[in-house]
Chain A
Amino acid sequence: MCSREGTPQVPDATGLEQTANALRDRNAESILGTDFGRGDRAVLLVNPAHVIDTLTYLKTEGYTFLASLHGVDYYPDEPRLGVLYELLDMTEVDRITVKVRVHTDNPRIATATGLFPGANFPEREVYDMFGVVFEGHPDMRRILMPEDFEGFPQRRDFPVGGEPVLFTYNEENSYGKWI
């Protein structure tokens, strides 16, 4: 990072634990874990069934801005597909991350568009790239790839693809030759 003071401010470890405990008080199974990463990164690992409750609570706590919603493929760790919600509290300049992990055989999470209408396009992108279906989304379709594309490109087991490099010795027999 550019300077230590320059990293985004997050609640410190105690603050994160307090938030986690408050959430656990509301619903015992919601928080699966907390993580305080390098670069002062506060992450709450949340049960997929209770994402909306957690986000609603955090929104009332002041984290009213959804900065980013993106997916990660944790292959080969299970549960494989993760969705991260980066929340920002503008009045106190605080950031917190909510992480949800689902398996590939049932990748369904409730949509956050009711709380944050700005989650519309990002959720469609996570669906397009990873296959996570957001239930209740007004327009759950592919956004970046063509409509009839098969497969979820950003998953780690999807090949990168591309054209092979043709040299004269392998040009005739290569499948990449388009003459």
Chain B
Amino acid sequence: MEIKREPLSGPGAPSDFRARQLMARDMLRGDLEGEALERYVKENVLTTTVDKAVAWSQGNSIWPLTFGLACCAIEMMSIVGARVDVARFGWEAFWASPRQADLLILSGRVSVKMAPVIRRIYDQMLEPRWAISMGACCSSMGVFNNYALVPADKFLPIDVHVPGCPPRPEALLHGILRLREKIHGTEREGWRERYHAVGTEEVVPNGTNTTSSAGDAAINVFPGGDTAGA
């Protein structure tokens, strides 16, 4: 799969970290058109068998980076342990060098001093690369909503957020499996699929304060697969 870097254009194309999520949101709303839609399909839907095979092997042999920050790191270490065994999925090779790792599991609270370091490490990782924000502290501010912490979304594009404080190893594994599905191209719609609710979105009534580009289109639309357990 060839990765080419180009700026996106179209209604759902802000050039920032949530580009993929916003594009998926516009896709669900039906707002993607023309070139943006073709881009989306090309990138996210695996069309050829070779693409599928490559994605299958990528998803089954991710090399996570050894990156533990705080308490969530201990639970991340226990997914390597024998009870919740991440080696079943081929992910046991925790790599210390960012140049050779695929996945950055941000486990723990990201302080103001550490954020540029993490960004530098993420930049050193080679494409294709993914990031899991593990725990409440890096996904949202967690227990500590204060001057010293930065949510990971502010400086990294995150693929999967795993809630919990700390998330159980099984919860982290669930997040990891959702990421694996995302890599394989079989990401789920989340609860909308389970309850046959695909196509139900909530519409904001007129007069409410929404100045977004989508006007009074859907709100509360979570793109399936981008939030673990949505």
Among B18, B140, B209, which residue has the most Cβ atoms of chain A within 10 A? B209
Closest residue of A by beta carbon distance from B155? A178
Q: Cα distance A161–B144 when bound, in Å?
A: 10
Chain B residues, Cβ within 8 Å of A160: 145-147
With A146-B113, A172-B212, A179-B18 known to touch, is A163 a contact of B147 (CB < 8 Å)? no
A/B pair count, beta carbons within 8 Å: 45
Interface residues of B in 4-63 (CB under 8 A from A): 14, 16, 18, 22
Does A159 belong to the interface (CB within 8 Å)?
yes
Majority secondary structure of chain B interface residues (helix, strand, loop or mixed):
loop
Query: In the complex, A177 Cα to B7 Cα: how many Å?
Result: 22
Check if B149 is an interface residue, CB within 8 A of chain A: yes
Smallest beta-carbon distance B223→chain A, Å:
14
A21 to B14, CA, bound (A): 72
Q: Are A145 and B113 in contact (CB-based, < 8 A)? A: yes
In the assembled complex, the Cα of A146 lies from the Cα of B116 at a distance in Å of 11
B219 and A168 contacting across the interface, CB-CB below 8 Å: yes
A178 touches B209 (CB 8 A): no
**A149 to B111, alpha carbons, bound, how many Å?**
13
Report A115 CB to chain B, min CB distance, Å. Answer: 31
Residue of B141, B144, B153, B154 most packed against chain A (CB within 10 A): B141
A175 within 8 A of B: no
- Indicate if the CB atoms of B219 and A178 lie closer than 8 Å: no
Are B220 and A178 closer than 8 Å at their CB atoms? no
**CB of B208 within 8 Å of the partner chain:** yes
Closest Cβ of chain B to A114, distance in Å, is 30
Contact across chains for B141 and A163 when beta carbons are under 8 A apart: yes
Once A146-B113, A169-B208, A172-B210 are accepted as A-B contacts, the answer to whether A162 and B145 lie under 8 Å apart by CB is: yes
- Which of B140, B147, B154 is close to A159, meaning CB atoms less than 8 Å apart? B147
Q: Taking beta carbons and an 8 Å cutoff, which residues of B are in contact with A? A: 14, 16, 18, 22, 112-113, 140-141, 144-149, 151, 153-154, 204, 208-212, 219-220
3 nearest CB pairs, A to B: A161-B147, A162-B145, A146-B113
**Interchain residue pairs with CB less than 8 A apart (8):** A159-B147, A160-B147, A161-B146, A162-B147, A163-B140, A168-B220, A169-B208, A178-B154
